[in-house]
Amino acid sequence: MTLVLARIDERLIHGQVSVGWAAALEPDRILVADDAVAADTWERDLVVSAAPPGVEAEVTGIADGARRLAEGLPGRVFLLVRSPALMLALLRAGAPLEEVNVGGLHYRDGARRFADYLYFTPDDLAALGELARSGVRLTARDLPGNPPIDLNSALAEGRLEFDQLPARGS
């Protein structure tokens, strides 16, 4: 198995993933790990229907996803979860994660801005901190053609303190 990208994106499969990243990475399979989506057949079909042609997509729960990633899936695998907390849960459940792309967390109540495409809550930052302390390399990047931002350095240098981040629109 080649894990071509492990991405945190609250929109899961959408235009940036199906066109931007899929064209650059040419995955054979998109694996969405999400207990809520996996438990709802209609939601599961909706998410899978957004995958690009020729790319197999499936939705699993966190525990099942971690197990399958640990065992190794065939081909080039693109992993998607919707939040840092779920990526951390996947790691703790045994998924072999060395590098994570933080690609899309848009504004929600209580979140503060780090980039146009990244608004973090305290829970997001706590989970990212845990991922970094576990040795995972964290990179912020919405699209493959845009410059990456090293989040491990941002965390280490205190640039990801919630209180220091600007509120929306400020």
Partner 1 sequence: MSLGPVPILLVAHRGFGDGLLEAARAILGQLPPVDSFSNEGLSNPELEARIHRWLDGHPGPALILTDLGFGSCCVAARRVSRGQDEVGIVAGLNLPLLLAAFRSREHETMADFLRHLARRGQESVEVYSGGNPA
Residue 41: enclosing H or E segment and its boundaries? helix 41-49
Shortest approach of partner 1 to residue 105 CB, angstroms?
8
Please say which residue, 69 or 85, places its beta carbon nearer to partner 1: 85
Please say which residue, 98 or 116, places its beta carbon nearer to partner 1: 116
| Positions in the binding site for partner 1 (CB under 8 A) | 10-11, 13-15, 18-19, 42-43, 46-47, 49-52, 105-108, 116, 119
Please say which residue, 34 or 69, places its beta carbon nearer to partner 1: 34
Shortest approach of partner 1 to residue 2 CB, angstroms?
23
Shortest approach of partner 1 to residue 136 CB, angstroms?
24
Shortest approach of partner 1 to residue 78 CB, angstroms?
14
